[in-house]
Chains A and B, each alone.
Chain A
Amino acid sequence: MALTDAFSRSGGLRLRQRLQHGDLIFWLVALFFALLVVALLAIIVAVTWDGSDEARDTFGIIGFITSTEWNPVAGEFGAAPAIYGTVVSSMIALALAAPPAIMIGVFLSDLCPDRLRAPLSLMVELLAAIPSVVYGMWGVFVLIPFYRTFIASPLSETVGEYIPLFAGPVAVGRGLLVAGMILAIMILPTIAAVSRDVLTVVPTHQKEAMLALGATRWEVIRHAQLPYARAGIVGGMMLGLGRALGETMAALMVIGNMPRIEASLFQPATTAAAQIASQLPTTESDLHASSLILMALVLFLITLVANSIARLLVWNVSRQSGGR
């Protein structure tokens, strides 16, 4: 029987029906939901663009992101302090969180006794499940007093005399550094969990290549596993950075909410998300509201840039390591 005659067999009709529509419908449904994401993104951009009309007309986008003045009463709105606070607190968080998180990942994937692995993993993941307002409260009542007494005050009174980065006065302790510390704890589980996952799937043959050469456990991790998992670990760090950039509540509670750019990490500052959340309910004017919406657009752009850099990094790293 020729292949084109297949439909004339018994049951050929059902076969014909099945072949005619099945994949097309599936394809359309999947396409619809995929496009939904794009539409949602477009709507968010359109709404923030539209809502920030007045602010853009008054200051211009460049003027808005370069101006350091934020005075709702005087009608002066500049986003530079919020952008600075957002980027610096997130970078501090990433720098503080990444090394211990990667070590946790190494421990969970390779060194941890089997019996301990599941409960420990669970606890690390639980860290990510704690609501950010709880982190903020813990920061206010526990971390800030500790940080003020044992980190900020001693540092500002010694090296702070010469290095502006650590200059006093410390006051109640709210500021950029402590916000970075809280954010670090919040993004640590993300980086740790991703690192654990990518280290776990490093092929045995890569580890045995090192083992058979007489490598110690650390050398196997250092030369076979970490390089193999590098792209994934960088990806995890960027996920964490994304979370830190957008984090609102915890940062709001410990950063001090002062729209200023100071050299010292001990001084109060603000972040874009914190500023929007704290001021949007009580705007002084339409221009104030419009400026906050423009700030949201800027924050969106920052995360977009951070993600693009991350993609580039991951791509570059995997290309250097010979791909595949």
Chain B
Amino acid sequence: MPEDQPAHLYIENLCAFYGQSLAIEPTTLPIPRQQVTAIIGPSGCGKSTLLRSLNRLHETLPGARNEGAVWLDGENIFDPDVDPIIVRRRIGMVFQQPNPLRGRTIAQNVTIGLELDGASKQECDEAVERSLKLTALWDEVKDRLNDPAMDLSGGQQQRLCLARSLAVEPEVILMDEPASALDPIATLRIEDLVKELVSEYTIIIVTHNMQQAGRVSDNTVFMTLGDQGAGMVAEAGPTSEIFTTPANRKTEDYITGRFG
């Protein structure tokens, strides 16, 4: 890994496979610290696969594997000595579909990660308040923390899931189309949260929504399908440049809505 560059995550020649087929061509990409990096591109170009490779979740699928390296503060998360569980503690994730754990209350959903470590009741209570305040959910649910999490609306559930991943204090947050299942108002609340949280966290967000990428991100990565049918990064850079003066023809076509 180059010593001079300040990236929080440095993706180096990372490939992803499903069985024998290549899903992402070798990708090299710096992810700047405490900035929002948006990954955009047409459906099926490997955005989610790339994102899921960054916390080693991709490899949990049957037959799926990665090659290459991802440097997290100078350590390769794919090093054989590195336990993927430690990686997932430092790199949290929010999914496309809000997925609170069924059978748990609102508070219990926030604390599940801490419970695994045997945290005390007091630590858990503090984490509930802190995380729910971070996700602007505290005032809405503070009087019903012991209600089933499934009683919340979709947007609240998604913010609860964000609170759940924040509770274990990660450094990087991966978001896989976090607002695609939400209504416009809930979407804007998620976007506001992203803009607030970026002062402390490095955020990578996959989105289908070009306006969303434009609104929340500092950097944009445009992915597309390569010649062999595998996903590849066509262009990456500051969002302002990608959106105004794209260097790549395909990027321009996609952003202006001519394909995708």
Listed in ascending order, the chain A residues whose CB lies under 8 Å from chain B are: 114, 203, 205-206, 208-216, 219, 223-224, 227-228, 230, 320-324
Given contact pairs A223-B101, A230-B103, A320-B103, A205 touches B95 in the complex (Cβ within 8 A): yes
Check A215/B101 contact, CB under 8 A, given A208-B95, A322-B149.
Answer: no
Whether A324 pairs with B102 at a CB distance below 8 angstroms is yes
How distant is the Cα of A212 from the Cα of B91 in the complex, in angstroms? Answer: 8
A214 with B88: CB separation less than 8 A: yes
Q: Are B149 and A214 in contact, CB atoms less than 8 angstroms apart? A: no
A322–B101 alpha-carbon span in the complex (Å): 10
Interface size, chain B (Cβ < 8 Å) = 30
CB atoms of B165 and A227 under 8 A apart: no
Tell me, in angstroms, the Cα distance from A213 to B131 when the chains sit together: 15
A214 to B60, CA, bound (A): 12
The listed residue (A205, A209, A215, A228) touching B103 by CB distance below 8 A is A228
List 15 additional contacts besides A215-B116, A322-B102, A324-B150; criterion CB under 8 Å: A208-B60, A209-B161, A212-B55, A212-B57, A213-B92, A213-B112, A213-B116, A214-B88, A214-B168, A216-B85, A219-B116, A224-B101, A228-B102, A321-B150, A322-B149
Interface of A is mostly: helix
For residue B32, give the distance in angstroms from its CB to the closest CB of chain A: 23
Contacts of A224 in B (CB 8 A): 101
Q: What is the distance, in angstroms, from B19's C-beta to the closest C-beta of chain A?
A: 13
A28 to B103, CA, bound (A): 41
B93 contacts the other chain (Cβ, under 8 Å)? yes
A209:B101 contact, CB within 8 angstroms: yes
Name the B residues within 8 Å of A205 (CB-CB): 95, 97, 99
Closest to B55 in A: A212
Do A208 and B99 contact each other (CB < 8 Å), given the known contacts A213-B165, A215-B116, A219-B116? yes
Residues of A within 8 A of B159 (CB): none
Q: Contact: A213 with B148, CB < 8 Å?
A: no
CA distance A203 to B95 in the complex (A): 13
CB-based contact A322/B103 at 8 Å:
yes
- Distance between Cα atoms of A114 and B63 in the complex (Å): 11
Asked if B104 is an interface residue, CB under 8 A from chain A, the answer is: yes
Q: Does B47 contact A (CB under 8 A)?
A: no
Task: Tell me which of B99, B113, B148 has the highest count of chain A C-beta atoms within 10 A of its own C-beta.
Answer: B99
